[in-house]
A = this chain, B = another copy of it.
């Protein structure tokens, strides 16, 4: 018999994980308005941008401007990715209090994506953690947790080793990512049962990409496994620009709609979330993959 929690926290990663994948940079004014609309939806966490070098992600080169110009609501974490010392300097200049760091659970992916080994990335994260101001809150992303296009299945022990090391380094929360949407509900059930033996689930978030349409199905398995924090990107932002319609993150409004229909509280205003999704969709001038956005915008005969 499926079990569900009474409430869930929704973490919005669209401005960072979504917009970094858009072929053309989004104007700073639009990003600021987008984040402000997400704030209006009552989300507890909004990942605003990244301090990755603009050479690698020019789409987010205006991280400082966006972070300084957004309207902040009390109790909301406005975070950015901090990949290294240079990123840390930039983060300190804008007094960033909420920081995200990242590493892969796949050695090959980590090498290809970050040009260093997993252990080198963990040492690098230790340096970043040491340089953060007192009271900073940190989220650690672990990617390829449910499979890797280079290595196939990743031993769950590798995931646990990376996640526990991040917690040892003082990371406050771990986001386990199905970066390429390979995971199935059975994988989530089985992996989370193993991971729960080593990592406290109240420190774990799940981050599903909907590449194969299984994100919400995987979240049902995550809920049954006891995970109560889920990442999303409004509209399903984050699809790769080379495959029209290819899905990125699970659409936050699809997730919130499902949770509310299940009687699970999120504290999120679904209408305001749809408004934010519609706003960015209109700006991007392309149909985003989120389902609920289509359902509410196009009335249909039964």
Binding site for B on A (CB under 8 A): 1-2, 4, 109, 112-113, 149-150, 179-187, 189, 193, 210-214, 216-217, 219-221, 224, 240, 242-247, 251, 254, 257-258, 261-263, 287, 289-292, 294-295, 297-302
Assembly CA distance A193 to B1 (angstroms)? 9
- Indicate whether A294 sits within 8 Å of B189 (C-beta atoms), given known contacts A112-B302, A224-B2, A258-B217: no
Please indicate the chain B residues that have their CB under 8 angstroms from the CB of A244 in the complex.
287, 294, 298
Specify which of A214, A216, A220, A221 lies most central, judged by the most chain B CB atoms within 10 Å of its CB: A220
Number of copies of this kind of chain in the complex: 2
Residues of B within 8 A of A4 (CB): 185-186
A31 CB, nearest partner CB in chain B, Å = 23
Q: Are A224 and B1 in contact (CB under 8 A)?
A: yes
Which of A109, A210, A214, A240: most chain B CB closer than 10 A? A214
Q: Given A2-B2, A211-B295, A243-B297, A261 and B181 touching (CB < 8 A)?
A: no
A258 touching B185 by the CB < 8 A rule?
A: yes
Q: List 14 A-B contacts (CB under 8 A).
A: A1-B193, A2-B2, A149-B302, A179-B302, A184-B262, A212-B254, A213-B216, A214-B254, A214-B257, A214-B261, A217-B219, A220-B221, A243-B299, A244-B294
Beyond the given A184-B262, A186-B261, A246-B300, please list 14 additional residue pairs across the A-B interface where CB-CB is below 8 A.
A113-B302, A180-B302, A185-B258, A212-B291, A214-B257, A214-B258, A217-B220, A242-B298, A242-B299, A243-B300, A244-B287, A244-B294, A245-B298, A247-B294
With A and B bound together, what is the CA distance between A164 and B97 in angstroms?
A: 60
Contacts of A290 in B (CB 8 A): 213
Task: Report the bound CA distance from A243 to B293 in whole Å.
Answer: 11
In the complex with contacts A216-B214, A302-B112, A294-B245 CB distance below 8 A: yes
Contact of A243 among B184, B245, B246, B298 (CB under 8 A): B298
Q: Give Cα A179–Cα B302 distance, bound, in whole angstroms.
A: 8
Instruction: Return chain B residues, CB-CB under 8 Å to A301.
Output: 240, 242
A181 nearest CB neighbor, chain B only: B295
Closest 10 CB pairs of A and B: A243-B298, A213-B291, A240-B300, A184-B261, A216-B217, A186-B262, A213-B254, A245-B294, A184-B262, A217-B217
